[in-house]
Structure formats: structure tokens, C-alpha cells
Amino acid sequence: MIQNYKYLLLCTVLFLSCNPKKTTPDDVERPNIIYIMADDHTTQAFGIYGSRLASLNPTPTLDKIASDGMIFDNCFVSNSICTPSRAAIITGQNSQANGVLDLEGMLPVEKQYLPQEMKKLGYQTAIVGKWHLHEEPASFDYYYVLPGQGQYFDPEFLVQGDKAWPKNVVKTSGHSSDKITDATLDYLKNKRDPNRPFFLMHHFKAPHDDFENAPRYDDYLKNTFIPEPESLYDNGNNGSVGTRGKNDSLTRILGSSVSHRNLIRNQAMNLYIDSTIYKNYGNAEDYHGKQIEKFKNSPEEKAHTSKVYQEYLKRYLRCVKGVDDNVKRLLDYLEEEGLLENTIIVYTGDQGFMLGEHDYIDKRWMYDESMRMPFFVRYPEKIKAGSHTDAIINNTDFAPTLIEMAGGKTPDYMQGKSFKEILETGKEPEGWQQSTYYRYWMHLAHRHQNPAHFGIRTKEYKLIFFYGKYWVDTDDPNAVWNKESWGNDFTNHTPPAWEFYDLKKDPKEMNNAYKDPAYQETILDLKKQLLQLREDLNETDKNYPHIQEVIDTYWDD
């Protein structure tokens, strides 16, 4: 009897092994997702975006990834500064909704939505590299992140451990781009469960300023002349009284520059070219309201500006080269392990960056070089190689899209929209957004001296309102705010002003056509759209009456 039972049991096991259970949708193998983001890697510094730098071939690996998938030509940041952009990406929300308005904003664990949603879908989650949201990234299963901005050389990393955040520190030796990639490869090889899909955020520090490349790139582009933007020397009719002052009276203190134009912060200070004033940044309070000699773009000044620009770009592009080479290391591993084809690869920057356009450095501006983000996705199973789209997306749309590509649904609390259908069909779904909203809150901060502003961008036009005040009322003696990370004691306001650009006729934004009679109907329509966006996104200034007063006073100006 026992022998018969054993025989029947053996037959049952053999039958089941030969007839596996029918698969259900939950059993279908889900793709791995690697989200790669470099800090301040702007569209001008790629081959694929056809900029003046494309001929230098700065990103061969990244261009190949892009050509194997879909390239987005109209991807925009909602606030061009590191911490708010990263918060928007993790939450799928704009700044007022997620509470991160400036560089001091923190993202607590309960708002770290993207890894939480991915874990609900069965993904193991990890983040390596720059985090910059201050609170512990505890919603990730695994983290290995830089403290704050981190260091280019011999970086330390914060990890899980026995001590409370942020006291578990790992010290390393080498360049940050290499060490971040080392850590990602270690996670993929040794830390993850190979039987479960993974969602990995791989964040480079590079090419954030001050640009410090690995020594092996010191001779890269050494004897190459880097093409210069025309607006480096002649800014035409770009700007307004809000960015230049009346009769250009504020040009010496607003907008950090490549040239000597800006007396408070210019790139020569960053590059030791003017060694006697290196980091000897002035204070806007020292200049505001005083007579300052008008900037003269003399032949001598142009020669100086060109010298600074060439060094500025070479250092920047050497950091970009390090990023591109390290992405190749990551791709090579995925291919060797047979993971490449079932892994969605996303590449972007956390915002754009000014590479001398309009004689500006850094980001923050709503001008396209600062506002536009590089963005492309490779996933051969679903995305056609060599595809492009001009659909408008922004960084609040990233989380919804990644969640839906992983098999989930966009949570109601997210403001962004999934563009999964665009990736898979190459077409905008009916009713897809035709504009995007922008808001920069950090008025005159970090001695970059960018006035606070907001606006709307469509495929054809851009409308910007510079309201020129802090988000806290500095005239209120009871206002409490921390200026430490902002770097200024400047509490003056700048003139409110509108700017309007026809991006089809004027893609480099060299002509503020706000007063042009031919565009008045278009501008009125854009203002209506802008008001509606601010309402829909809960981006109004009802909590900031000192700003709302400026808006009401100058809205029809």
C-alpha cells in the first residue's frame, strides 16, 4: 500500500513538472528599470540634440542609447534647481504640492512616493549617487548616496547601518563618477535578488560645478576650439527691465556671467583665472542703488571672455566624458549578463544648464538652455528605435510613466501624467498637454542673482513673468527663514516685468516681443492658460499675498 502511494506521488510530481501552471498577468516577467540622471547635463552637451557642440561628439555612448529608443525634444523641468527638481521627480508633484521650493527643502520618507509605488508592484528598489533631498531615502530598499552635494574626489557615501541617518559612512578613493558606477555594479552583482525585477536610480554628481574631472581626461579637448554662442557677446533684445534693470542698470549684478559683466559672480572667479578674486564674491547689497560703471564689451574684454569660456566648457565637457564612459561600463555589464534587452533605460539631467548663452552660467532661468532637460528611453520590446517626439513632458511626468511601464497605475495624488502611450506608439494621446508650467522661487540666491519668476511654455511660445520678490515677505519683521544656503543678505526687490518669445521665429530667445502689437492676442491667450495652470496645479500665490499683490498690479501691464 505504501509502495503504491509512493508510486502515485511520483507520478503526480512528474505530471506537474511537465505541465506547468497557466501564467496569469501577475506572472509575466516585468522589465527591470534603470533611471540614470546626471547633474546639470544639458541638451547642448549631446550629439543627438544638434547643438553647436554636437560636432565634438561629447556623448557617443549616450547617443547610441538614445538612437536605440525614443528622444524627447520638449522635455522641461518645472523648477530649474537641483533639490526641487529631484523632489518633483520622486513625488510626481510640483513644488507647492510636495513642499520643496528651494535648496533647503526636505523630502520626508512619507513623501518618497516613487520607490513606494514601485515596491507595491513587486520591484526591489535602490538609489546610488546624488540624492540631495536631505532626509534619509528610507523608502528605497537599498541606498548608497552622497551626503548633500558630495565631493568629486574621494567621496563619502551614506548607507544603511546600525547608526541613525546620516552616521553610517563609507569612505572611498577616486573620482565620484567612477565610484558611483562601482557602487551600482556592486549592487547589481551582489546586493539584489536576481529572481525579482529591480528599479534602480543611478545619479551622477557630474557635471555639476565646480567642474572637476578625473585626471585621465585632462587632455581631452585640450587643443580644440569650443564653438561659442553668439549671445555670449551680444544679447540682443533678450530680457526685460526685470532681468536687466532700467537702461541696463542692473546688468552688473543680475545673472552670473562668463564675462566680467557680473561683478558679484562670474566664471573667472570659479576657474582661478582671476586668482586674486577667486571666490571673493561680492554682495548685491554693496552694489544695489549705486552708480556702477556700465559694462563695455571691448576687444580686450571679449578676449578675456573667450579665454574663460574655453576653459569653462572644457572642464564641463571633461566631466561629461566621464559620465558617458561610466554609462558604457554599466551597459557592458547588462549586456554580458543578458539583462540589457529586458531593462528599460532612462537617461536625463536634473535640469538644463547655461553654457554661456546670453552670457549666463548656472541654471535657474526659464530660458530654454536652463529649462530643457535631455530625456530619452531605450526599451526595444516596446519602443521603436530611432524615434523622436516633440510632445511636451515635464519632470513631474516621470514617476507616473515609470509606474505605468512597471505595470501599475498613476496614483491620484500625483500631478504628472504618464506618457507611456507616447513611448509605445510615438503619438500624443487625445487631450495630451500642450504646455508646461515653470516656477523659480529662489530670488537672487547663491549670488547667481536670478530674479524669481514663473511662466508657461508651449511648442511655439514662451511667456515669463518676473515678479522679483522672495517667497517669504522680507518686509515682515516676523518672517522666519534660513538664508544660509542661499548665500545672500540681499533683501531688495527687482522690477516686475513680462517677457514673451516666439520660439519658432526666435528659438534662441534673442527678441523679447512682449510689446509687439502683432502678438497681443497670443499673449492674452497665454495669460489665460497660465492662470488656469496655476489653479489646476495649486501653484497660486494665495499663501503669499506680498507676491500676489505684485501679480495683480502688473498682470495687465
Read off the amino acid at residue 15.
F
Give the mean pLDDT of 56-62. Answer: 97
Each residue's pLDDT tens digit, 333-382: 999 999 999 999 999 999 999 999 999 999 999 999 999 999 999 999 99
Q: Which residues pair with 224 in a beta bridge?
A: none
User: pLDDT at residue 210 above 50?
Assistant: yes
pLDDT of residue 59: 98
Residue 97 carries which side chain, given as an amino acid letter?
A: A
Please compute the mean of the pLDDT values over residues 420-437 and round it to a whole number.
98
Question: Which residues does 506 contact at the CB level (< 8 Å), separation at least 6?
Answer: 513
CB 251 within 8 A of CB 359: no
Q: Answer whether 153's CB lies under 8 Å from 214's CB.
A: no
Mean pLDDT of 512-516: 98
- Measured distance CA(100)–CA(133) in Å, rounded: 9
138-161: average pLDDT: 97
Confidence of residue 293 (pLDDT cuts 50, 70, 90): confident
Non-local CB neighbours of 126 within 8 Å, separated by 6+ positions: 140, 141, 142, 143, 144, 187, 191, 192, 198, 199, 200, 201
**CATH code assigned to 437-554:** 3.30.1120.10
Edge-to-edge strand list for the sheet holding 453-458: 435-440, 453-458, 461-466, 497-502
Q: Mean pLDDT lowest for which of 435-444, 485-494, 527-536?
A: 485-494
How do strand 435-440 and strand 453-458 relate by DSSP bridges?
Answer: antiparallel
Among 113-127, 232-246, 261-275, 525-539, the least confident range: 261-275
Q: How far apart are CA 405 and CA 260, in angstroms?
A: 48
Query: Model confidence at 383, in pLDDT bands (50, 70, 90)?
Result: very high
- Give the CA angle between residues 228, 229, 234 to the nearest 5°: 120
Q: What's the chain's length in residues? A: 557
Q: Closest Cα partner for 207 from 62, 104, 343?
A: 62
Rounded to 5 degrees, φ, ψ at 106 are -120, 150
Least confident span in 173-177, 230-234, 246-250, 411-415: 246-250
Specify burial of residue 310 (Cβ count, 10 A radius: 0-12, 13-18, 19+). middle
CATH homologous superfamily of 29-219+307-424 equals Alkaline Phosphatase, subunit A (3.40.720.10)
pLDDT of 244 strictly over 80? yes
432's CB contacts (< 8 A; 6+ apart) are 391, 392, 417, 419, 422
Q: CA separation (Å) from 260 to 233, 268, 343?
A: 11, 8, 47
Q: For residues 419-446, give the mean pLDDT.
A: 96
Given a contact cutoff of 8 angstroms between Cβ atoms, the answer to whether 205 and 274 are in contact is no
Task: CATH 3.40.720.10 in the chain: give the residue spans.
Answer: 29-219+307-424
d(CA 323, CA 207): 8
The whole-number pLDDT of residue 482 equals: 55
How far, in Å, are 209, 337, 485 from residue 482 at the CA level?
Answer: 23, 49, 7
Residues 6+ apart with CB under 8 A from 341: 380, 381
> Is 410 within 8 Å of 418 (Cβ atoms)?
yes
Distance in angstroms (rounded) separating the CA atoms of residues 248 and 457 = 26
Residue 316 sits at the vertex; the CA angle it makes with 313 and 322, to the nearest 5 degrees, is 135
**pLDDT of amino acid 272:** 58
Q: What's the pLDDT at 285?
A: 64
pLDDT at 5: 42
Burial class of residue 181, CB neighbours in 10 A (0-12, 13-18, 19+): buried
Q: Which triple of cell numbers denotes residue 264?
A: 558679484
Cα-based distances in Å from 345 to 33, 35, 462:
6, 6, 31
- Residue 549's identity, in one-letter code, is E
Where in the sequence of the chain do the CATH 3.30.1120.10 domains occur? Answer: 437-554
Residue 90: which residues within 8 A CB-CB, separation 6 or more?
107, 111, 112, 113, 114, 115, 133, 399
What does pTM read for this prediction?
0.92
